[in-house]
Amino acid sequence: MTATVVTLNNDLHEQMRILGNKARHAYALMAEARNEQKDMVLVEAAMALRAHAPDILAANKKDLEYARGKQLDKAQIDRLTLDEGRIEAMAAGLETIATLPDPVNKKLDEWTRPNGLVLQRVSIPLGVIGVIFESRPNVTSDAAGLSLKAGNAAILRCGSECLHSSQAIVGCLHAGLKAAGLPEDAVQLVPTRDRAAVGEMLTMVGLIDIIIPRGGKSLTKRILDESRIPTIQHLDGNCHTYIHMDADAQMACDVLLNAKMRRVGICGATESLLIDEAIVPTMLPKIADVLSKAGCEMRGDAQARAADQRIKQASDEDWDTEYLAPIISIKAVQDVDEAIEHINRHGSHHTDAIITSDSATARNFLRRVDSAIVMHNSSTQFADGGEFGFGAEIGISTGRLHARGPVGAEQLTTYKYVVHGSGQTRT
Amino acid sequence: MTATVVTLNNDLHEQMRILGNKARHAYALMAEARNEQKDMVLVEAAMALRAHAPDILAANKKDLEYARGKQLDKAQIDRLTLDEGRIEAMAAGLETIATLPDPVNKKLDEWTRPNGLVLQRVSIPLGVIGVIFESRPNVTSDAAGLSLKAGNAAILRCGSECLHSSQAIVGCLHAGLKAAGLPEDAVQLVPTRDRAAVGEMLTMVGLIDIIIPRGGKSLTKRILDESRIPTIQHLDGNCHTYIHMDADAQMACDVLLNAKMRRVGICGATESLLIDEAIVPTMLPKIADVLSKAGCEMRGDAQARAADQRIKQASDEDWDTEYLAPIISIKAVQDVDEAIEHINRHGSHHTDAIITSDSATARNFLRRVDSAIVMHNSSTQFADGGEFGFGAEIGISTGRLHARGPVGAEQLTTYKYVVHGSGQTRT
């Protein structure tokens, strides 16, 4: 659309592979970078973000103008929009990542075999990481910062509406890389809005080691279906809060309100309340008070509706729905076993919580609910890399392989075995 | 072919999904099994293998008769053939797995956040594991044993020539499961030779969590290309031994001979020798003596051939070839940097070793060679789950995600986060 957007149409396939080869060369150097060097990248990039805030805001303005011609909803426009505060948050995010310990070259394990061989398992970078995200400029710096901290190279593909903003932000990361004597190609932004570039990324076997989609369910599903490269999966967050009969009533109300309504658009928001039928008549009306005052629509089963008229009738579909909106489904369950069974069937293996004062019931729930994050007496909205102490996150993995839960710098590493011998041969 | 082979042709798609659902139910029970129960399965199955050795040998005889009608080479027939010793080795393998510590319910990490939330990372089973292997009966018990030890359910698809043998072995695992009060469906063998069953397995998203191919390169490549389910990759083992100028000559000869010739058909066998050009004239003839006495064909570059006439000319292809035969490629390199560069370009990220007395050079090599296993002064043939102390292995992963190197019981686990609160809400 403007001079800064490179046209790759002539030979997208070839151009994307050039990008991939540059990333592989940069990765080889990043993998050997000292921690102080990597931290310098992050700190210098944070300074550049602050220094170039006016340029970034100008680029963002161009993106917002471009976006006005498209059918974005209010939430999408909000996520696309930058201001001084959001730029500061990006800079602070990079500085936080810089304070983390080096996730690579860590001796994860060491043991000696009877023949005298000493085996070590040592963490190393994952390689070249492809991040495909929607039009959220801040993902640019979060994803690049986490990738670099773990010694990786990143190829970023942003949503078409935030290309100018992401370019300006990547410019600041390049300034950081340059200042630290590391290759700028360690962070590359796909410089075209052409959607075919995503298809190219998904087939760059041998050049990209892992694809991380970050966005809505349809984007993610397409990527998981089409990718020939391993992915870290984050499909949806149909999270549950289960209130057990031995729950403290006040805690249950406070935690549930926070879990559902603090922010309704994040993947860790509770979408479904399960409640023991024994306490439905006494506790549910109190909960319904709190939720309806906060503006939350309630959809429940027959038992729930019998206890409170403000609760509408839920359909079967509701149990499987991630609303990302001020709506909650409510189901009465016989006991913790039914709650666990319901969550494992209808949930998305993201984050599920129990509120109870009974520790044996809590243990049962925590062990048998098959989700990346299980919680006792706390809000599901804590499902977040920052809240976990990871500095930031690229997403929350609901898959079972490699990384589960918040994906921070440590999750962007793998390992190798280092074997020290003194001439051993195998018999 | 016989009464024991079920015909699934009528509705293979449906039948395979029934298998998958049974596995998921079995997994839910396996995940909760105590370690003593899982060990009892293994010990009882080992006893059953010994007790039913005559039946297993009879089944194997049927397989060998069936195989004679097909074009199997000598090595394939050898791998298919069972005898008392091999059955005893399978039984002993299961008993070894039983002695390992429980790989699940381990607290991998624990930390407390400023708000008082206590976070734990706890190991859990991976889920339902699909293992697709060639006609090697012993893989049946190794794969099932490792899967069960880690609390998983396994769906095994064996090569068509070993169906009777695998069925007999699975019968022994069922006896173990029954004795321990665990569901027999935790180990299921695909009961048909129909190749379409593999295609079905690769698309059973939501029923199978991970596919592990174990076999030759063409089988593995097909599976990696077609699978819609995450895989643990093991393509090939183009392993290198690099002899540095500061290597002890005797150690270099001994280790290289073992690395190449102890068994030529395993993935950890050295396929390529790199040697510093400074020592080519003095050391290579000694090495060539040892190798040629052992019956190893040598293919080298110009410098290598100048040092010893027994070395034939290597083509460019040789540097990328996994011979799995008594053949070795030999290349002179300027220094450790060229060796590292060559290995990272031509190797398969499996196992590579350096022989040197210089520890700084060794460190450089171990750090910069980008392989699952890197070794100093030892034979690449130690690349093996048993030799690592894992009891057994399903294979050696050359991918970067989840598991790298030997895949034992611990690699067949994942983790969840368990968060303990006291009513915390997020601000």
- On whether any CB of chain B is under 8 Å from the CB of A405, the answer is yes
Using CB atoms, which residue from A254, A376, A424 is nearest to B382? A424
Rg (CA), chain A: 24
- On whether any CB of chain B is under 8 Å from the CB of A321, the answer is no
Query: And the tokens for A352?
Result: 């599920």
List C-alpha distances in Å: A111 to A116, B388, B390. Answer: 10, 9, 12
Q: What are phi and psi of B262, to 5 degrees?
A: -55, -55
Band (A270; pLDDT cuts 50, 70, 90): very high
Q: Is the pLDDT of residue A3 over 50?
A: no
Of the candidates B319, B249, B339, B323, the residue with the CA atom closest to the CA atom of residue B285: B249
Answer yes or no: do B426 and A387 touch at CB < 8 A: yes
Helix (DSSP H) and strand (DSSP E) numbers for chain A = 15, 16
Whole-number percent of chain B with pLDDT over 90: 87
User: What structural domains does chain A harbor?
Assistant: 9-232+407-419 (3.40.605.10), 239-384 (3.40.309.10)
Using CB atoms, which residue from A377, A415, A425 is nearest to B423? A377
Beta-carbon contacts of B14 under 8 Å, excluding residues fewer than 6 positions away, are none
Model pLDDT for residues B366-399, shown as the tens digit of each residue? 999 999 999 999 999 999 999 999 888 898 999 9
Model pLDDT for residues B186-229, shown as the tens digit of each residue? 999 999 999 999 999 999 999 999 999 988 888 888 898 889 99
Q: Are B186 and B26 in contact (CB under 8 A)?
A: yes
In chain B, positions 193-222, which contact chain A (CB-CB < 8 Å)? Answer: 209-210
Answer yes or no: do B423 and A255 touch at CB < 8 A: yes
In chain A, positions 137-196, which contact chain B (CB-CB < 8 Å)? Answer: none
- On whether any CB of chain B is under 8 Å from the CB of A107, the answer is no
Distance from CA of A172 to the nearest CA of B (A): 29
- On whether any CB of chain A is under 8 Å from the CB of B346, the answer is no
Answer yes or no: do A377 and B421 touch at CB < 8 A: yes
Q: Are B372 and B384 in contact (CB under 8 A)?
A: no
Residue to test with chain B: of A221, A416, A420, A422, most B Cβ within 10 A: A416
Q: Are B339 and B242 in contact (CB under 8 A)?
A: yes
Q: What is the DSSP code (8-state) at residue B315? A: P
The predicted model scores a pTM of 0.92
B319/B312 Cα distance (integer angstroms): 14
Answer yes or no: do B417 and A387 touch at CB < 8 A: no
**Which residues in B lie closer than 8 A to residue A379 (C-beta atoms)?**
421, 424-426
- On whether any CB of chain A is under 8 Å from the CB of B368, the answer is yes
Band (B73; pLDDT cuts 50, 70, 90): confident
Of the candidates B88, B85, B79, B97, the residue with the CA atom closest to the CA atom of residue B51: B88
Model pLDDT for residues A67-89, shown as the tens digit of each residue? 988 888 888 899 999 999 999 99
Using CB atoms, which residue from A375, A416, A417 is nearest to B419? A375
Of the candidates A86, A192, A178, the residue with the CA atom closest to the CA atom of residue A141: A86
Model pLDDT for residues B250-278, shown as the tens digit of each residue? 999 999 999 999 999 889 999 999 999 99
- On whether any CB of chain B is under 8 Å from the CB of A51, the answer is no
Please write down the long-range contacts of A183-186, taking CB distance under 8 Å and 24 or more positions apart: A183/A25, A183/A26, A183/A29, A183/A30, A184/A26, A185/A22, A185/A23, A185/A25, A185/A26, A185/A153, A186/A23, A186/A26, A186/A27, A186/A29, A186/A30, A186/A148, A186/A152, A186/A153, A186/A154
B344/B272 Cα distance (integer angstroms): 13
Q: Is A19 exposed, middle or buried (0-12, 13-18, 19+ CB in 10 A)?
A: buried
Residue to test with chain A: of B400, B413, B414, B420, most A Cβ within 10 A: B400
**Which residues in A lie closer than 8 A to residue B388 (C-beta atoms)?**
113, 119, 417
Q: Is the pLDDT of residue A112 over 60?
A: yes
Residues A273-280 have a mean pLDDT of 98
Residues A386-394 have a mean pLDDT of 90
**Please, what is the average pLDDT of chain B?**
94
B126/B410 Cα distance (integer angstroms): 10
SS3 B235: coil
| pLDDT for residue A6 | 53
| pLDDT for residue A8 | 52
Query: A155 vs B235, which has greater pLDDT?
Result: A155
Band (B120; pLDDT cuts 50, 70, 90): very high
Query: And the tokens for B60?
Result: 């194997």
**Which residues in B lie closer than 8 A to residue A380 (C-beta atoms)?**
none
Pairing of strands B373-378, B270-276: unpaired
